[in-house]
Chain A
Amino acid sequence: MSAVNWFKYAAPQTFYVLAGRWIPWLYAVAILLAITGVYIGFAMAPTDFQQGEAYRIIFVHVPAAWMSMVIYLAMAFWAAAGLVFNTRLSSMMAQALAPTGALFTVLALVTGSLWGKPTWGAWWVWDARLTSELILLFLYIGFIALRASIDNPLRADRAAAVLAIVGAVNVPIIYFSVRWWNTLHQGASINMSSAPKMATTMLAGMLVMALAGWIYSIAVALVRVRCIILERERHAMWVRQLEEVQP
């Protein structure tokens, strides 16, 4: 029965080579999707009757905010897997996702601010959605700082994993904040139970940009996890025999 041994791919040695083959394709697809998304967002999507052209910021703001949450959940998932199964590669994946997640969180906050100023008249308000997103940034920074403060990588993995798992409760709080509290931030434009409250082209632009964000994130996470493998496994014979390492 067992035609494919999935645990084979959990070995850094196999994964390193496989990821290296995927990266150029992922970058290419991400760039093509981003160009398509920008074209739909700027050339096809109509002007918003309430917000004018300022609304076009959502084509970068919403995907960035989605990615900030999705990456956190992925990071917590890999951290938990590393904790439970004691697989090095899982913890390395969690470590590789954190900086990209933090970057998307900063971008979500900054582009949100650039949207808020013309639309609400304020760069920042202490609204439930904005505040919980800011807490997400602190969780990412905490994860990165905690890892960096512990010399032994295996102990650092375990401590950071606990932080990542506990912090995961913040993600549903961000997502549902616009429903649970009376927020200035507008409600979700898309949900599972009703038709989207926007023009089809606007929705298409946002979804294509979100897909570009997903593929980009996977690509950079793979690039970073390959760096982490080289850094952490540099004494391993297979690393020293890699083609790119030869002088």
Chain B
Amino acid sequence: MQWNSWGEFFAMGGYAGYVWGSFGLTLLALAWEVFALGLRRRKAIGRVRQVQSWAGQGLEHKE
């Protein structure tokens, strides 16, 4: 283990902003990607349902 205390660990030898900034931004970006994909999937499913309900009313390909 390289660290004598939590304080020393969080300080990252004076480079805290750069080190934690890099890891934080990466985590945020990947979490955002997963979240955005969840929204896209819900939207896509909604559109398929719409096509399906139009088909049920005999309105095929009237999108």
Asked if A pairs with B, the answer is yes
Interface residues of A (CB under 8 A from B): 38, 42-47, 52-54, 56-57, 60-61, 64, 99-100, 103, 106-107, 110-111, 114-115, 117-118, 216, 220, 223-224, 226-227, 230-231, 234-235, 239-240, 242, 244-245, 247
Q: Which single residue of chain A is at the shortest CB-CB distance from B8? A: A53
Interface residues of B in 3-31 (CB under 8 A from A): 3, 9, 12-15, 18-19, 21-23, 25-26, 29-30
A56 and B12 contacting across the interface, CB-CB below 8 Å: yes
**Which residues from chain B contact A107 at a C-beta distance below 8 Å?**
25-26, 29
Query: What are 10 A-B interface contacts by the 8 Å CB criterion?
Result: A43-B2, A56-B12, A115-B22, A118-B18, A227-B37, A234-B47, A234-B51, A240-B52, A245-B52, A247-B53
A245 and B48 contacting across the interface, CB-CB below 8 Å: yes
A226 and B41 contacting across the interface, CB-CB below 8 Å: yes
> What's the Cα separation between A226 and B14 when bound, in Å?
44
**Which residues from chain B contact A114 at a C-beta distance below 8 Å?**
18, 21-22
B29 and A223 contacting across the interface, CB-CB below 8 Å: no
A155 to chain B, nearest CB (A): 19
**Which residues from chain A contact B25 at a C-beta distance below 8 Å?**
107, 110-111
Given A230-B44, A231-B47, A220 and B22 contact (CB-CB distance below 8 Å)? no
> What's the Cα separation between A226 and B37 when bound, in Å?
10
Q: Which single residue of chain B is at the shortest CB-CB distance from A117? A: B18
A220 and B33 contacting across the interface, CB-CB below 8 Å: yes
Tell me how many residues of B have a C-beta within 8 Å of chain A: 32
**Which residues from chain A contact B49 at a C-beta distance below 8 Å?**
245, 247
Partner of A115, one of B2, B18, B37: B18
> What's the Cα separation between A42 and B13 when bound, in Å?
12
Partner of A47, one of B13, B18, B41, B48: B13
> What's the Cα separation between A223 and B37 when bound, in Å?
7
**Which residues from chain A contact B3 at a C-beta distance below 8 Å?**
43
B48 and A100 contacting across the interface, CB-CB below 8 Å: no
In this complex, which of B15, B19, B22, B30 has the most chain A Cβ atoms within 10 angstroms of its Cβ? B22
**Which residues from chain B contact A247 at a C-beta distance below 8 Å?**
49, 53
A219 to chain B, nearest CB (A): 9
A118 and B40 contacting across the interface, CB-CB below 8 Å: no
**Which residues from chain B contact A46 at a C-beta distance below 8 Å?**
2
Q: Chain B, 30-56, contact with A by CB distance < 8 Å: what is the 0/1 string?
A: 100110010011001101110111010
